[in-house]
Chains A and B, each alone.
Chain A
């Protein structure tokens, strides 16, 4: 059963990412949007659907897409290979007659899934709280954004963790500086910002421009190409790097 190679790697990686007590952190993080949504509702926030929509978009854009999603992607993406690199246990995985792309694929899928699991449930529950039902076009849009964003962030940070030992720190700077401030300031950089992709996807998947609040700066068609390109580049980079990764001596 050749499938079981990926499955085994995925299972071990899953336990690395969310096992022991790490899932607690993920649970707490995913509760944040729920908390804010609940507060909105109990505050007698206007039942006006436009207000609700506005609020939800703001919640998604500022808390989830700018902060929660990149951070979750960072932590899981770097840990997928990073934990084993730090611990010196990656050699057990490397010293096997398994094509490197299969290892990367399994770990990437697990990291992306872990990120989705960290972020999406909170988003869904928040939407239910605000709108009363999960069948909502905004939720569909942002769910898609979270899915795509998770995969992209996981891929970027995965390859980063294979390129440098300081992946977590550099990734942090990226999240703070790039996604936080720079990409809004310099519109040229938007084409390289995952957050921008996510926004555009939200817009597209939601089915209609949400107007003011979303303000996606990129065309959704462009975004699809850019996202695919980024994913391919990151994955190919990870595979190539894994092939020539030298296992260091005991530190």
Chain B
């Protein structure tokens, strides 16, 4: 089969996994149209529509938001309760052929503990019906830098190594689409950096990569596009920086304690950076329209009115509250 010769030619170039059929790669797509998934009364995924493009897309959301369900829908592991989930125009459900194009790295740690790393990756390669499974195995293992440990049983691996061998297994057939569920779980910083490099390089070669996380910072280094999922619904999508900016533009709430609450309150209301002020038992709750200018203005205002600031507590900055805001918008 031609892919074998192509692969060897590519290897001669010194580029792992480069394929001359990048056209095929660029046509890869994952499309969801009004996809929903419910279990009885519990709606895990609620009317989500989007199309994945080549490059890295981050799936961001709090725990229980439905990220895993979404990935499983894309992976053809679950049947959509309504709507469609398509890979390259074909439904992903009940369609084993689609797995030629998809590689999946599930979240769950358990991998056959009695197999060595090499055996596990080779199993994946053989089941993918690759013409040269041994070659593919070696490349995949090398890509995740586990060549030395590949002959040890997976049961002896550390958590980070297990994650990497799972990725190797998913890469064995050089899929056009790669789905990763919380891939950075359990990785130390060095491993994380390496994985990020690996995924970024792949994305540049045209792969569609989706990874889920609930940690904002993981997106920072890797994802160009972001899908924010909250309670099964798509709360935001698009460029990561844009969304980040949108998130930080929302009104901020601060709690103040001072030596003269009422006087301070009156003075604050007069300032442009303040949206609302509330006096409650011994505290001042201030809603600032713009966080930046408020934090600059506050000390000046306090000094002008002769009030001492005892305590300044910004409101809850958790991802949760950010997401709630996004959902309400």
Binding site for B on A (CB under 8 A): 2, 4-5, 8-9, 12, 15, 19-20, 87-89, 91-100, 243-244, 246-247, 249-250
Question: Which residues between 121 and 153 of chain B lie within 8 Å of chain A, taking CB atoms?
Answer: 123-124, 126-129, 133
Cβ-defined partner of A12 (8 Å) among B69, B78, B112: B112
Q: Which 5 A-B pairs have the closest CB atoms?
A: A247-B77, A96-B127, A88-B108, A8-B126, A97-B99
A96 touches B128 (CB 8 A): yes
Q: B111: CB under 8 A from chain A?
A: yes
Q: Are A100 and B96 in contact (CB under 8 A)?
A: yes
Q: Does B281 contact A (CB under 8 A)?
A: no
In the bound complex, how far is the Cα of B155 from the Cα of A15, in angstroms?
14
Query: What are 25 sample pairs from A and B whose C-beta atoms fall under 8 A apart?
Result: A4-B133, A5-B129, A8-B123, A9-B127, A12-B112, A20-B114, A88-B108, A89-B110, A89-B111, A92-B169, A93-B127, A95-B77, A95-B104, A96-B96, A97-B96, A97-B97, A97-B129, A100-B96, A244-B79, A246-B78, A247-B72, A247-B77, A249-B69, A250-B107, A250-B108
B129–A99 contact, CB under 8 A? Answer: no
What CA separation (Å) do A84 and B69 show in the bound complex? 20
Most buried by B among A20, A92, A246: A92
Cα-based distance from A87 to B129 in the complex (angstroms): 24
Beyond A8-B123, A15-B115, A92-B123, 10 extra complex contacts between A and B, CB < 8 Å? A8-B127, A20-B114, A91-B77, A92-B111, A246-B78, A246-B79, A247-B72, A247-B77, A247-B78, A250-B108
Once the chains are docked, how many angstroms separate the CA of A94 from the CA of B107? 16
C-alpha spacing A76/B97, complex, angstroms: 29
Are the CB atoms of A96 and B99 closer together than 8 Å? yes
A40–chain B nearest beta-carbon distance, Å: 39
Interface residues of B in 86-131 (CB under 8 A from A): 94, 96-100, 102, 104, 106-108, 110-112, 114-115, 123-124, 126-129
Asked if A97 and B112 make an inter-chain contact with CB atoms under 8 angstroms apart, the answer reads no
Q: By the criterion CB–CB under 8 Å, are A250 and B68 in contact?
A: yes
How far is A243 from B76 in the complex, measured between Cα atoms in Å? 11
Q: Which residues of the other chain, A, contact B72 by a CB distance below 8 angstroms?
A: 247, 249
State whether A15 and B100 are in contact (beta carbons under 8 Å apart), knowing that A9-B127, A249-B69 are contacts in the complex.
no
With A8-B123, A8-B126, A96-B96 known to touch, is A87 a contact of B110 (CB < 8 Å)? Answer: yes
Residue of B nearest to A8 (CB): B126
The docked-state distance in angstroms from the alpha carbon of A19 to that of B112 is: 12
Chain B hits for A100, CB < 8 A: 96
**Complex contact A95–B78 (CB within 8 A):** no
Residue pair A244, B78 in contact (C-beta under 8 Å)? no
B99 touches A95 (CB 8 A): yes
Q: Could you say which residues of chain A place their CB within 8 Å of the CB of B96? A: 96-100
Q: How far is the CA of A93 from the CA of B133 in the complex (A)?
A: 16
Q: Please report the C-alpha to C-alpha distance between residue A96 and residue B124 in the assembled complex, in whole angstroms.
A: 8
**Which residues in A have their C-beta under 8 angstroms from that of B106?**
88, 91
Q: Report the Cα distance A54→B136, complex, angstroms.
A: 59
Q: In the assembly, what is the distance between CA of A249 and CA of B98, in Å?
A: 21
Across the interface, A91 reaches (CB within 8 A) one of B98, B100, B104, B123, namely: B104
Residues of B237-289 whose CB lies within 8 A of A: none
Given A243-B94, A244-B79, A246-B79, A97 contacting B128 (CB threshold 8 A): yes
Residues from chain B with a CB closer than 8 A to the CB of A12 are 112, 115, 123
Interface centre among B75, B107, B126, B169 (most CB of A within 10 A): B126
Minimal Cβ-Cβ distance residue in B for A11:
B123
Residue of B nearest to A94 (CB): B77
Q: Which residues of B contact A94 (CB under 8 A)?
A: 77
CB neighbours (8 Å) of B68 from chain A are 249-250
CB distance from B124 to the nearest CB of A (A): 7
Chain B residues within 8 Å of A19, by CB: 114
Cα separation A20 to B153 with both chains bound (whole Å): 12
Q: Of all chain A residues, which has the CB nearest B108?
A: A88
* Beta-carbon contact of B127 and A98 below 8 Å: yes
Q: Whose C-beta in chain A lies nearest to the C-beta of B133? A: A4
Contact of A95 among B75, B110, B114, B129 (CB under 8 A): B75
Query: Considering the chains assembled together, what is the distance between the CA atoms of A178 and B111 in angstroms?
Result: 37
Complex-state Cα separation, A176 to B31, whole angstroms: 51
CA of A144 to CA of B169 in the docked complex: distance in angstroms?
A: 41
A93 to B111, CA, bound (A): 11
Q: Is the CB of A4 within 8 A of B102?
A: no
Whether B126 pairs with A5 at a CB distance below 8 angstroms is yes
B223 shortest CB reach to chain A, Å: 23
Cβ of B114: which chain A residues have Cβ within 8 Å of it? 15, 19-20
Complex CA gap A43/B108 in Å reads: 56
A168 to B: closest C-beta gap in Å:
19
A250 to B185 alpha-carbon distance, docked (Å): 15
CA distance A19 to B115 in the complex (A): 11
* Alpha-carbon distance A96/B123, docked complex (angstroms): 11
Which of A98, A243, A246, A249 makes the CB contact (< 8 A) with B129? A98
Tell me which residues across on chain B come within 8 A of A93, comparing CB atoms: 127
Q: Which residue of A lies closest to B179 (CB)?
A: A95
A97 touches B69 (CB 8 A): no
Q: Chain A residues with Cβ under 8 A from B112's Cβ?
A: 12, 89, 92
Alpha-carbon separation in the docked complex, A99 to B94 (Å)? 11
Closest to B102 in A: A95
Shortest beta-carbon distance from B112 to chain A in Å: 6
Identity of the chain A residue whose Cβ is nearest the Cβ of B110 in the assembled complex = A87
